[in-house]
Structure 1
Amino acid sequence: MQPAQSSLPKQLQKKMSKQLKYAWMIGLGLFSFLLLLPSFVSLDGEAGNDWAIFFGRFHIVVLHLPIGWLMIIPFIEFIARQCALPELKKAIRFILFFASFSAILAVIIGLTLASSDGYSGDIVTTHMWLGITTAIFTILACLFNESFHVLAKNLFQKAYFISLFTALLAVTWGGHLGGSLVQGEGYLTEKLPADLKVTLGLEEAPELLSYDTPIYQGFIEPMLAAQCMSCHNSGKVKGQFKLDTLEDLFKGGKSKKAGIVAGDLKASEVFHRVTLPRNNDKAMPPEGRTPLTEEQTALMRWWIEAGAPTTTSINQLEPDSLPPEVIAALDNKINESAERLYPTKVFTSIEPTLLKQYIQQLQTEFGIDIVPVSQDPKDGLQITAFNFHTSMDENAWQALSPLAEFISYADFGGMTINQQSWQQIAKLPQLRSLLLDNANLESTDLAPLNQLKKLQVLNLFNTGINDKNSPDLAKIISLKKLYVGQTEITLDGLQIIQSSLKQAKIYHSLVEQAVLNLPEIKTKEAPEKKSEYAE
């Protein structure tokens, strides 16, 4: 629709054209001002005076004004066209003016905040230029829209729509980066299920942690990434300190104090900041963000005091260098990684009545007893085979397979265990306790047990295992308790197991702690049935 410009008196047309000329002159002046504005500020991460910071923090309030004005214009355009309400489009001229003014104001206040509150980095710079782009194209949309109404040329209307679309695109992208600066990168996708993140390429597939994982890579770096990386990365560098590389971490920031000094807690500025009282202005992470837990703090303290190793694994350290609280923290991290990769299934996902009937059928036909481990469904099912003294045949294992993913406790003590039995036991992914005491091992190939990522208790008391089995036992990294009394395993075999499973207690009735000189190995006879494993 062409504006009725020709019906206006010539004197008024001349006056409007003159006003439009002045508007374009002012617009060009504003373009120059906005483009030159970054040269007057420095995004070097240095903090400015408090008044500048106070003024700059109003950016979070002002920036919503141009966003709101720009977002409402397409709706007004649509309604005006669909409902034949040309008078409604007059409101757009005023909205564009307010959007232009507020966009310029948001840029000025935003630059004040970035230059005075210690911001720097690629994300900050990109966010700044997107803000400037939004302001410039909002002004252009305003000028082209005004030119269309005065000169009645469709070329200006097309230029108006292109400018408006560009401004909307820039403000959307800039808003996303602004959210990343405030909330941290990945804020929008933070709560997506882990599997979906991996599928979408937003996150790499998690690795199973163990005592062979490098300490920094597996236990320290993820903690720093979760708690500190959102403010200290190449995209957003607060206080000239970033954590993109180990060199950056050890170097520190604008305080000129080293971030980490191996073996020296007091000289390590990172540890000093994360252990300050929460009401201290220098405490990190800043107020409003989740601080490190006591467990995380203990882990960082130990890591620094141990010399801040970067490529060394736990198993490469001396056994007595691990305090109990650190072992507990490491075990929790290892268990968490296992839980992410192998989530716990609960047996109540089977309809209770059908479950009861099926359990009764297994007991009647095969002599397999299955009961809940406890009143908590998450503890899963317990299987015992007291009526079996030979190996379970193929039919019995096949009948048991529908419940395999819910079994967390298995007692096959006294049974005959052949190669097929080992393969079937390895198909119980939620198994946490496995009792094989006094079992007749027709096959001593324990390698399949390495597939049990949640196995914590293993009883091989009075079985035919020997030192040849030690390497396979040493690979079951989740073990907390291992009973190998009255077996043919010697001190050499125990050394192999203990060197890998520092977190496990090894029970052997013939070995004394002083002989082996390993504090984790305890002298203890075989435990009584059931009570020792009800955990």
Structure 2
Amino acid sequence: MRVEALVKHPALVVCSFVIGVLVLGLPFIGKIEAPVIFLMLGRFHPLVLHFPIVLIILALMLELAIKFKFVPNATGLQLSLLAASAFTALIAILAGYFLFVGGEYSGELMEQHFWGATVSGAGVFFVTGLYLLSQRFQPVYPFYIGLLVLTNLSIGFTGHIGGSITHGKDYLTEYVPLIFQDEPAGSKTVEEMLVYDDMISPIFQAKCMSCHNQSRSKGGLIMSSLQSITKGGDSGLALITPEDLDQSELFNRVTLPADHDDVMPPEGQSPMSEQEIELLKYWITSGASPEQKVTALQAQPEIASVTNELLPQLARYRRKQAMAELKLKEVTNELEAVGKKLNLAIEPDSLEPGLFSLRVKFPPAPFNNDQFRELAPYNDAFSRLSIVSSSINDDGLYHISQMTNVKKLYLQKTNIDGSGFIYLMQMPNLETLNLSFTKVDDKVALDLLKFPSLKEVYLLGTKCTPQVVEALRKNKPGLKILFEEGPYF
């Protein structure tokens, strides 16, 4: 069949609009139980999604080229682009749907991406139908062009949401605040730079922090500050021993062979370069001082060339670090406003850099389960909670369990009876739990054995008997049980 006859075939127009409507209705079906083979096909979504994006952009570019007479009218080529875009869009959307129903991705961004994909995919089919109609009825052509532009914009937005799921919500706009700063990020002069703050720390930020941060402290090690590095991890080995490389576990790990089980960072992540390792070596052997200046290194022949080579390379790392500091400042201001609204004291935690402590003011301000909703956007920002004498009960423990970075939780003199302990068991970092003067009894106290990281618990004024306390000590010898009211902080 000739192209001229094909583009005017009414069945193609009807088919385009019908499939578009069906695609648009996909979100209303919701999640279904899909066979395993379809779940496997969902994994191909990232491989096929770029085809319809490129093809629909080319279709718009071709229309512009025809409009401005760069190329002659090309009906066959345009129909091919639109048909290929529609076909690959349908495959990408179905694969994305099966990925969605598999349950591996969820949340607000995922919902937005799903809706954006179905609207964009339906748009591709409607555009194709309008193009076919425009070949028979010229007045339809402006509607086709308008929808083609809108579909490209929708695909751009949907792609941005998809990238945000992978890279983070602010991936595209991450550097915008730096553009409007009076001084560029990391714009210190060399004379002002410190070796640790401006060279070593940015290297750690780039090469180590993905596994050793407040949210994910692999091996109990956090590397967000020199204080936390000095503290070390669960192994008990000194990470950095000034003037002694052999006793500096950090140096030992980054210099292991690439195929060694204990090499850091692990396989699949960017290791430190030879120059970065050389810098780390010199900094440790020269005393690992946080006050050491970069100019002091430039004055030493054995390390000067490495230092001068690294300074331009580390500018990118310092920009990342500056961005993190800006975000922390922004979160600090937001949490201060939330604290004032709820009459809570929310402050940076001096023991956990980058995280915050929260406490009920004395005399106790009214605080109940409902007010946790105000704190939900910042769940991962807290390391210590003291909600002593508040009116929360075990239902509120669900909200607390979403604060996965909390290490110390003080609940004394609340309405807790322990029926909500199942929520707290999900907290990977909870080390201290104060339950003094609550309704906790022997039955629920035994659940403390199931807390993964718990190191100390306060039980003064509870209904726990000495026999159960002894059983707790016997079955969890690392757990310190204290019969004191405990700190409020």
For the aligned pair, the TM-score class normalised by the smaller chain equals: 0.3 to 0.5
Question: TM-score, normalised on structure 1?
Answer: 0.36
Question: Which structure has the larger Rg?
Answer: 1
